[in-house]
Structure 1
């Protein structure tokens, strides 16, 4: 059964190998064909550049263009230049297409290209001068002495074909170079060149598909059949040409036959080697298989965790003995390592953190020994830190509990103080409200007093006007009294004159004398009344003037009182505004005190909780200390 499996596996492998070899050969031939096409492209490019240099060498010679020199001498000079170059001959064409050889090149494509200022190379053409098949090369149009010239020449029509070698290719393979019109420019089969074969013509219909493929793309691989033979063409565009394409056509059928022959040879050799190998394996396997199976079984037990079952080396003294001895050492070493790991971990599990591994681990197991000791050291260090931390935690828990109790007591006292302050602020708030109300009433009274004072000032002004009127009237009365005094004085004068006249009249004037006496007496009384009235009016005027002065001073005082009352009203208004602002501030203080009181109550509750948590933390730290005491660190 095992042999059949081996045969099946070998067969599958051989089939895979054959397929891979075939694909590798196929890819290799394709790459080789493509590389060959690229190499020929470079060869053509070099040849064309060399031909262009030959044309340039003639362009630099003005003596072949100087028409003062006879034409025959110029043609002789061109022939001399051709003899030292790879060109068959040189000639010159004028801008109108006529040449030194009396031919017309206007219909030649290479001449048309040259007149555009470019180098041009033609496919093989039938020459106008002698009818031979040749390839023409022309340089760009050149101006000399205000005339246009084109230097051109011919090369052997097989110039490009000479380097196309198919000797390393499969029989029936060929190489062609085709211009953009499908005409064969060069070929390993030179007959195609000399007959001016065109792969796009009806005459070469079997090549039409290949020509269409080559002309449609710059490069590629194309597989086709021709006369029952399969070909693969690697084609590329030739640089510095007007669309020339080179195609390396490999006989793919021949290549495939060669590949299959190589594969069958390799396959035969492989089968022979396999057969010999099978015989050798069958002989050797009997000595090797038994120890290998024994080692395999022990490895399986080892993979299942069995490191205690002993392994006896009873193999013959060959490579299998070394294998079995290695198995013995492996099992023993693993047993020692695992027992050591078990002992260390058991001690750690029991709380002994001072345990160390004393086994000399080797190879990659060295890290296990280091890790065991590092684990022990790390646990010991960490446990010591934990113990120290527990002591600090117990002390800290006590301090937290004490601090929390102190904070709680302080918070209670502060809450009481805040409550007292809140009550005081409430009383101040009430007083501020009363003050604001009183200041509002005082402001109203001040406004009324100001209005009354202004009214009193107006009355004082009216009184002054009345006193002034009395003074004016008194002055008028004085004038009247003065007039009356003058009348009395005149009356008295008249009475005296009447008395004198009565005395002169005697008895006849006695009656008139009595009247004159009465008039005189009446004038005297009038004079006395006038004097008394003047004195009274003077006293009245003095009293009026004094009253006017007093009224003026009273008016000034009243105006001052009005101004003072106005200022008092303004001050009281400011006091009222301040009282209102004070009331608002005290209200805000009262609200903030309420918030502070709430915060203090919360702080008190938090402090009580912290005190309880501190006591719990102290108890937990004591329990944790008891737990870690069982671990040995010293």
Structure 2
């Protein structure tokens, strides 16, 4: 038998883990967790113990070296005091050379390299000036002073200077000072008891190395606050900022733990014991590896024990699991033998035997009932007594049989009614189809008529639009004629005004002719008086008189013509005014006609739109009627098919036994 699993079932199977594996995993995890916790606690304690031990060691060394430095400084101060007690080295009655010799003798019997004397103004027996030296400035304030290594003024050698407090002798101020070996303090710094790579340094308040286990730093005048030694800046800042403390730092990949303290009787000197912490971590790592090896052995032993115990527990469970897997695949016939030991697994296996047998009985009963139903026997019922949650299954099985029997009886009774109804549906659908065809034809005729009306309305709208355009054009022409009449009236009025002006001019000419005639008459009289001498003048006067008479005659004729022209102009003006009034009336009438035609055109367009809408609606009605006709025809066919199906259903139902 082949079993087909769904994708989800395959995913579940792939994700399954055996009980044995889970027990083993749980035990291993528990052991690992316990071992890890213990290992972590042990490692932490070891680390803290090593850390505290090395901190204490570094701190103790720093304290011891502080005390050593204090003793050395006190010893140096005693040497200065012994010289201060000798007045012969200050007695200026003694030659300077002898005084310097005495100082050399004193130095030969002390730990000092040499002694010298400085005056209060900074000058010395060696003809040098100490005013800029910090140790001299401190001595002038009344305190002992010791310097960091400096370049000596006398021979440019590197040395450490010591000065006693200023004192007065014979009214003058003196400072006894001297030099000591530059490596005097460094020689006592021993790192043999420390881890490899550890070191000890002493720096002044400015960061300069005063003493160190690495004497090269001293001779090089190294300063840990300078840019040149930038990698030491953070260490110097930490040490110089506090009187004492513990500081962890990393330098060139190596971790250090530094214990630092302030050296007594100095101007801010700090001693720092720098323990190589990487070596400490190596020791811790070795211890951790040993503990880890032991832990792995413990874990391995635990795994072996867990495997033996889990096999005894898991074997019966695996057997039950396999039988359940067969049961989930529908196998209720394969027998299951309970051979488990007398414990909880025995109860589990016995329950499996009962489960398989019970399910087998229920499934056989359900199969018998369903087989009878499949054969058409609706009178069958289940007689088996179901238990527990299966009681509802037994009830449901009998209810299904009873319901099928009842429903099938009702179906038989209703089939005859359905057959008659199917025939009536077929007949009604046929009648509906015929009526729909006739209505569709009537709608088609109406639609054709509406289309013709729509075409006529379209033509009417086009003609109305053309008439409207002609009317508008005529209205514009009439307005242009009215404007021309107005211009004509203005021209006639202008002629009238000009004619009046000409009349005035003619009158002036007439006056001139009259005056000329009087002048000629006076000239004739004067010529007559003159006698023979005025004969020529008399002839001229006669000619002027004749010319004046002609001018008067011409003026009278012109005046008559102008009067006639004015009369004609007045008459023309009246006619033009009447024509202008008539033209204005024509323009108004044409405007009213244009408005009426525009309204007619708008009504024609609206009528056309309404007819178009009617035509569209008629098309829709026609489409609906066609669809109705098709539906009616389909209903008729469906009615016939339903009638045929009811016949077939009746013959099928007769096969089932209900009594």
Shared fold per TM-score greater than 0.5: no
Q: TM-score, normalised by structure 1?
A: 0.41
